[in-house]
């Protein structure tokens, strides 16, 4: 436990100084394709009150259709990325705050995050879901997108998703061992069961979706009953 604590990466420090979310934007149409995939899980945000957790530089703002929301607020703890977002969308409402503990007095129809849960440890994730539950309007929806799936961790680190020529067994084994010690380039990996259990504690209904862009990840939709 002590070894794991000493070796765990400080993601807050790392991302706090970034101005680029480091998505693979060099891939043609990445944001359009990934946004279209997420939109199938999110549903139509038009006319809804939306809170995006870990909005970064706003790379998915238009791709998912959040620009058509009745009200939108983006939260991120990187002021540099928020500055990029505001430069592109001057009218956008942003808050610089820690995503895992953020909570306000608003009521939202949709609370969304993408590729953010991996930077939460399990306590932080439970805290985030509890806060989101308190902010959801009746029949509101919490979307936690692109979560690294624990069931695919070994295959990912042994490079099963890479071309055969790029696979290096011994390097993959070393990276996998580091992952189990708590040092991982991705962050934390989660199971469907963990989300189902936490959802149940807060009276939320969990639905899971595979991730097309990243086969080693999944999306989860947590619905609040009326």
Whether 173 maps to a domain, the answer reads no
Residue 25: which pLDDT band, with cuts at 50, 70 and 90? low
User: What's 7's domain CATH number?
Assistant: 3.40.50.150
The alpha carbon of 119 is separated from its chain's Cα centroid by a whole number of angstroms, namely 8
Quick one: which of 14, 3, 1, 223 has its CA closest to 118? Answer: 14
Query: Please, what sign has the CA dihedral across residues 98, 76, 189, 149?
Result: positive
Dist CA 83 CA 72 (whole Å): 16
pLDDT in tens, 94-137: 999 999 999 999 999 999 999 999 999 999 999 999 999 999 99
The Cα–Cα gap between 181 and 166 comes to: 24
Q: Judge whether 214 lies within some domain.
A: yes
Tell me whether residue 180 is in a domain. no
pLDDT confidence band for 2 (50 / 70 / 90): very low
Domain that holds residue 90: 2-148+192-223
Q: Is the pLDDT of residue 1 over 70?
A: no
What's the CA gap between 125 and 105, in Å, rounded? 20
Beta strands in the chain (DSSP E): 49-53, 71-76, 93-96, 108-114, 136-148, 205-210, 217-223
* pLDDT beyond 90 at 187: no
Q: Enter the pTM of the model.
A: 0.82
Task: Give domain status of residue 187, yes or no.
Answer: no
Which of 192, 188, 3 shows the shortest CA–CA distance to 100?
188
CA distance 27 to 30: 5
Structure tokens at 190: 């989660």
The pLDDT assigned to 29 comes to: 77
Percentage above 90 pLDDT, the chain: 64
Look at residue 61 and tell me if it is in a domain.
yes
Residue 218, in any domain of the structure: yes
66 inside domain: yes
Q: 53-84: per-residue pLDDT in tens?
A: 999 999 999 999 999 999 999 999 999 999 99
Any domain includes 208? yes
Report whether pLDDT(9) > 50. Answer: yes
Q: What is the number of structural domains in the chain?
A: 1
């Amino acid at each position: 436990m002590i070894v794991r604590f000493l070796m765990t990466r400080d993601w807050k420090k790392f991302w706090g100084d970034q101005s680029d979310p480091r998505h693979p934007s060099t891939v043609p149409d990445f944001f359009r394709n990934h946004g279209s995939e997420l939109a199938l899980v999110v549903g139509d945000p038009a006319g809804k009150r939306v809170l995006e957790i870990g909005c970064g530089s706003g790379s998915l703002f238009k791709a998912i259709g959040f620009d058509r929301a009745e009200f939108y607020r983006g939260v991120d703890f990187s002021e540099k990325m928020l500055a990029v977002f505001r430069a592109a969308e001057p009218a956008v409402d942003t808050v610089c705050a820690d995503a895992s503990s953020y909570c306000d007095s608003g009521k939202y129809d949709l609370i969304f995050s993408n590729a953010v849960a991996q930077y939460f440890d399990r306590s932080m994730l439970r805290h985030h879901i509890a806060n989101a539950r308190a902010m959801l309007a009746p029949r509101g929806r919490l979307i936690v997108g692109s979560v690294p799936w624990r069931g695919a961790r070994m295959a990912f680190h042994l490079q099963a998703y890479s071309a055969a020529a790029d696979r290096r067994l011994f390097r993959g084994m070393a990276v996998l061992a580091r992952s189990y010690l708590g040092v991982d380039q991705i962050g934390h990996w989660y199971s469907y069961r963990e989300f189902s259990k936490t959802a149940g504690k807060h009276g939320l209904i969990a639905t899971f979706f595979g991730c097309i862009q990243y086969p080693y990840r999944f999306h989860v939709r947590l619905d609040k009953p009326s």
